[in-house]
Amino acid sequence: MAVNIVLHEPEIPQNTGNIARSCAATGAALHLIGPLGFSIEDKYLKRAGLDYWDKVRLYYYNSLDEFFGKHQGKPIFYSSTKASKTYDQVQYPADCFIMFGKETQGLPEDLLRENYERCIRIPMREGIRSLNLSNSVAIVLYEALRQMGFPGLQRHGQLNRPE
Cβ atoms of 56 and 45 closer than 8 Å: no
Q: Is 15 among the domain residues?
A: yes
Global confidence as pTM: 0.91
Q: What is the domain extent for residue 75?
A: 4-147
Span of 2-6, 59-63, 75-79, 150-154 with lowest mean pLDDT: 150-154
Task: Report residue 118's pLDDT band, with 50, 70 and 90 as the boundaries.
Answer: very high
Binding residues for S-adenosyl-L-methionine: 101, 122, 130
Answer yes or no: is 154 within a domain: no
- Identify the band that residue 83 occupies on the pLDDT scale cut at 50, 70 and 90: very high
Q: Span 113-133, mean pLDDT?
A: 94
Q: Contact at 8 Å (CB) between 99 and 79?
A: yes
In a domain, 99, yes or no: yes
- Binding residue numbers: 101, 122, 130
In a domain, 163, yes or no: no
Give the span between the Cα atoms of 91 and 109, in whole angstroms: 23
Q: Is there a domain that residue 161 lies in?
A: no
Q: How confident is the model at residue 37 (pLDDT cuts 50, 70, 90)?
A: confident
- Asked if the model's pLDDT at residue 57 lies above 90, the reply is yes
Query: Can you give the CATH number for the domain in which 77 is found?
Result: 3.40.1280.10
Domain count, the chain: 1
Angle formed at CA 137 by CA 89 and CA 22, multiple of 5 degrees: 125
Overall average pLDDT of the 82-94 stretch? 96
Q: Which residue has the higher pLDDT, 40 or 32?
A: 32
Whether 27 maps to a domain, the answer reads yes
Report d(CA 110, CA 108) in Å as an integer. 6
pLDDT in tens, 130-144: 899 999 999 999 999
Give domain status of residue 101, yes or no.
yes
**DSSP summary character for residue 160:** P
d(CA 5, CA 116): 19
The answer to the question of residue 159 being in a domain is no
Other CB atoms within 10 Å distance of the CB of residue 153? 12
Report yes or no: 132 and 39 within 8 Å, Cβ to Cβ. no
* Nearby residues of 161 by Cβ (< 8 Å), 6 or more positions away: none
